[in-house]
A and B are shown apart, each in its own frame.
Chain A
Amino acid sequence: MSSIYSFFAGSHSATSSLIIDGEIKYVIEEERLSRIKAGDKYESFPNLSSSKIVELSGLQIKDADYRIMVEPVPDLYADELTNGKYERVSHHDSHCYGSYFTSGMDGKVMTISYDGGGDKSVMKIYLCENGKMTLLKSLDYSTFGSLSHLWGFSTTGILGVGEDGASIWKICKDEGKLMGMAADGYYDENIINMLKSVIKYKDLKFSPSTTGERTKFLMDSLRLQGAFDTKEQREVFSYNLQHYTNKMFVEFLTDLNKLYPEYRKFAFSGGLFANVKLNQKINELDFVDEIFVYPPMGDEGLPLGACIKKAVELGEITKPIKLKNVFFGIEYTNEEVDNISKDYDFNKSLYVPEEIASDIDNGGIIGWFQDRFEHGPRALGARSILVKPTEIGTHRVLNERLKRYEIMPFAPIVMEEYFDEIFYPSKSKYSSEFMTICYSTRESWINKIPAVIQKSDKTARPQIVVKNKNKKFWEILNAYYKISGIPVLLNTSFNSHNEPIIDSPQQAFDTLKKGIIDKLIIGDYVYYRK
């Protein structure tokens, strides 16, 4: 039985992880501690996160049985961190092992990673069965185009650069804004044709392999011609970007299915699959029985994937598991919280779900701070803000308080028991415990929960809440359901716009103090301003 540390360093999304005896102990993204979002710092190192895991686990990096650096590796830094004793693991292997071995899938599974590049690949495809992974294809960066780069450089190009010379919207950070805008656009053949001059799909190949540079050129040219001056223009571009992406990737998957029709389950990872609208299209395909999107789908998920790969090689993980949650971060004891709260002048009372549900029903904005913080980009019930989903006016209030862009849709959490009543298709529900796929909303529910439905296409990105996996989160939903008849709440991440999701009670208390939230639930207590 072994202890395995793994790190991703030298780029965006620096992260540290620790697995002991095949059990995930800690995964901490550097941004949570540095308070600088991954996309805002392209040269980041897991100094704070590695130190924190050492502190929490009591296991020095040098004393672990294995130390793994995920490719690409900044050697000098890796030497310092590990005293020169480390193994390298492939970037895309880390993505693929992470997604397959947390997919919980049995039988034949096709595992695909796709991103902007890592250790000379942009994509790997594995055929998997019973815990065995066989590499089918590794598609190299210099001959294979990247849909992630198409999105990344569309994001940086659509608004251009600010006064500081940096792009206003950032790669690996703001792609979701384009995805959010896409629903409000419409089809334009001319934009599709222009995107075709950047990247095309044919015969299992996206080409040419210069997607980033070509996208930059296209976006600069369009922007300087005034093609993104208005909100409508940006929406139309985004719509066609999403449409073209979906079309190409569905063709690609369909061609793969013709060659391997027995593979009807898919596990995905890599930055491209942060695109929940693409995931929705894939999930709706007839030949797809189930998809699973690795919850930390971007490069922040690499160290965990690398740890899993090593544990698999050691025989300490033998088959895909189902995660109960992704709460792999830092936890604070009641005593610690209590001590910190003394620095603030708040009222405090015992948490009663029915009372908070009533507050929510009356329009309250509630901070939710429980357990260890989540790993990955989504707030999944450890660091969340909860609001009622029934009034569209909630958007304005939340956007103002959180300083969010109007274009970014809010997501619902839904009790497992009512998912099928509200959303369809009834597929890939395990993946949706991690809010990774969009679904269509049934007609009868669209007007009941307008605050969490995308206005134009009536889709939502639900998180399914399962009672025996997150009882407390389920109970607040249930309490609200008893009051309102609505088994849904609006859940947004506990942070202001452009900040990472919060880590500590201080950050939560500060949010309450600033009036961003009305009440704060930490552990078994409610805090509110006097």
Chain B
Amino acid sequence: MFIIVNNERIEIKFDPYIYVNVWGPEHFYYVEVREYVKDNPESKFVEGFHFNRNANVVKDYNFYFFGEFYGDYEISIFKFVKNVGLQKIHSHRYNDCGQLVQFNLVTDNIEDAKIWTKSIDEYQKKHGCIVKVNSKFEEINNQYSTEIQSPYKTYNIGRFHKTVNDFKSVGETRKYGNLWFGNWKVFWSYQHPRNWKELSAKEISDDILGLS
């Protein structure tokens, strides 16, 4: 999804995770990801990223944010204007209404898959999106066929084990070294909001799709 705002060309994608890029005449752009949480009108800061295209400090051209589970994210892009400071040049809030949303059911168990489709149906009703499902079970996949190819967002639904990189997440401080001082969320990897081992199949999919 490219957007042209004045002299800036902005690309924002949510599939499979948040991706932002900005091209324009400035050396610097700042991207901020915030999240709206249920029953709270205030958005919470999630991540900030600095595009730096200074010829002498060439680094980081793209911003990836591995928020693969559902989040009501708002992405804002700022540039610096002399005597004004940070000026917002574009803002986009997650909105998959009328868009294709793809769900990959990661399970060999058809009972799990059936339960998860209930959450998918709830998600579709809530968001007004077009749904496509990929699973090992044709009878489930066929219920959600569509000709549209390019998804706005893809969700993987399953039970995902922690990896060695999965330390920066909600409520997780079990670490020897340097600490994070309380960000709302810092998803650097595939993290369940709650420990899936203690949840039912429905609770797992509801967590992933923000229906809890």
Give me the interface of A with B, judged by CB distance under 8 Å. 10-11, 42-43, 72-77, 116-121, 140-143, 190, 193-198, 208-210, 212-214, 216-218, 220-222, 224-225
* CB-contacts of B66-119 with A (<8 A): 78, 80, 82-87
B residues neighboring A (CB under 8 Å): 27-28, 30, 32, 34, 40, 42-46, 48, 50, 52, 54, 78, 80, 82-87, 173-184
| 8 residue pairs from A and B, CB less than 8 Å apart | A75-B173, A76-B175, A120-B182, A142-B182, A143-B40, A198-B85, A209-B44, A217-B28
Identify which of B54, B86, B182 contacts A121 (C-beta below 8 A).
Answer: B182
- In the assembled complex, how far is the CB of residue A142 from the closest CB belonging to chain B, in whole angstroms? 3
Among B27, B40, B181, point to the contact of A118 (Cβ < 8 A). Answer: B181
Residues of the B chain whose Cβ atoms lie less than 8 Å from the Cβ of A118: 181-182
Contact A74 B48 (CB under 8 A): no
* Contact across chains for B178 and A43 when beta carbons are under 8 A apart: yes
Point out the residue from A10, A74, A190, A210 that lies within 8 Å of B32, measured CB to CB.
A210
Partner of A142, one of B45, B173, B176, B178: B45
Which residue on A lies nearest to B82, using beta carbons? A225
In contact, A197 and B87 (Cβ under 8 angstroms)? yes
Task: State the 4 A-B residue pairs at the shortest beta-carbon distance, nearest first.
Answer: A197-B85, A213-B48, A194-B85, A142-B184
Shortest CB–CB separation between residue B10 and chain A, in angstroms? 17
Q: How far does the Cβ of B60 sit from chain A's closest Cβ, in whole Å?
A: 13
Smallest beta-carbon distance A163→chain B, Å: 14
Residues of B within 8 A of A212 (CB): 48
Q: Are the C-beta atoms of B86 and A11 separated by less than 8 Å?
A: no
Select which of A42, A119, A197, A221 is within 8 A of B182 by beta carbon: A119
**Cross-chain contact A117 with B86 (CB below 8 angstroms):** no
CB distance from B46 to the nearest CB of A (A): 8
User: Is the Cβ of A74 less than 8 Å from the Cβ of B181?
Assistant: no
Given known pairs A72-B179, A142-B182, A224-B27, the reply for A194 and B174 (CB within 8 Å) is no
List the A side residues contacting B182 at CB < 8 Å.
72, 117-121, 140-142
Nearest CB in chain A: distance from B181 CB, A: 4
| The one of A77, A141, A221 that contacts B28, using a Cβ cutoff of 8 Å | A221
In the assembled complex, the Cα of A75 lies from the Cα of B174 at a distance in Å of 5
CA distance A77 to B40 in the complex (A): 36
- B residues in contact with A119, CB < 8 Å: 181-182
When the two chains form their complex, are residues B177 and A10 in contact, meaning their CB atoms are under 8 A apart?
yes
- Give the secondary structure class of A's interface: mixed
B174 proximity list for chain A (CB < 8 A): 75-76
Residues of A within 8 A of B52 (CB): 220
Residue of A nearest to B180 (CB): A72
Contact A72 B85 (CB under 8 A): no
Q: Is the CB of A218 within 8 A of B86?
A: yes
Smallest CB separation, A216 vs chain B (Å) = 7
Q: A75-B175, A217-B30, A221-B28 are in contact. Are A210 and B181 (CB under 8 A)?
A: no
Q: Is the CB of A74 within 8 A of B173?
A: yes
Interface pair A141/B181, CB less than 8 Å apart: yes
Distance in angstroms between the alpha carbons of A297 and B67 in the assembled complex: 37
CB within 8 Å for A216 and B184 given contacts A190-B83, A194-B83 = no
> Cβ of B181 and Cβ of A117 under 8 Å apart?
yes
CA of A72 to CA of B173, assembled, Å: 7
A10 touches B179 (CB 8 A): yes
Other 10 A-B pairs with CB < 8 A, given A74-B175, A216-B48: A117-B182, A141-B182, A190-B82, A190-B83, A195-B85, A198-B85, A213-B30, A213-B48, A220-B50, A222-B80
CA distance A143 to B182 in the complex (A): 11
Distance from B195 Cβ to chain A, minimum over Cβ atoms (Å): 16
User: Could you say which residues of chain A place their CB within 8 Å of the CB of B176?
Assistant: 10, 74, 76-77
Q: Report the nearest B residue to A213, measured CB to CB.
A: B48
A75 and B167 alpha carbons, distance in the complex (Å): 12
What residues of chain B lie closer than 8 Å to A116, measured between beta carbons?
A: 181
Partner of B183, one of A141, A214, A224: A141
Pick the contact of B181: A72, A75, A198, A214 (CB < 8 A): A72
Looking at the assembled complex, report how far the CB atom of B1 sits from the nearest CB atom of chain A, in whole angstroms: 24
Residue of B nearest to A195 (CB): B85
Of the candidates B28, B44, B177, B178, which one forms a contact with A143 in the assembled complex, judged by CB atoms under 8 Å apart? Answer: B44
Distance, CA A117 to CA B179, complexed state (A): 11
**Max count, chain B CB within 10 A of own CB: residue among A43, A74, A117:** A74
Question: Distance in Å from the Cβ of B158 to the closest Cβ of chain A?
Answer: 27
Contacts of B54 in A (CB 8 A): 224
A77, B48: Cα distance in complex, Å? 29
Nearest Cβ on chain A to B169's Cβ, whole angstroms = 13
A194 and chain B: residue at smallest CB distance = B85
How far apart are the CA atoms of A116 and B183 in the complex, in Å?
11
With both beta carbons as reference points, the residue of chain A lying nearest to B27 in the complex is identified as A224
Q: How far is the CB of A11 from chain B (nearest CB, A)?
A: 5
Chain B: minimal CB distance from A236 (Å)? 13
- In-complex Cβ contact of A197 among B27, B84, B173, B179 (8 A): B84
Give CA–CA (A208, B44) in the complex, Å: 9
**Which of A42, A117, A141 makes the CB contact (< 8 A) with B178?**
A42
Cα–Cα distance between A210 and B46 once the two chains are bound (Å): 9
**Which residues of the other chain, B, contact A42 by a CB distance below 8 angstroms?**
178
Q: Which residues of A contact B183 (CB under 8 A)?
A: 141-142
B78 contact from A10, A217, A220, Cβ within 8 A: A217
Provide the bound-state CA to CA distance between A51 and B32, in Å.
43
Q: With contacts A74-B173, A141-B182 known, is A198 near B82, CB below 8 A?
A: no
B48 (CB) vs chain A CBs: closest residue: A213
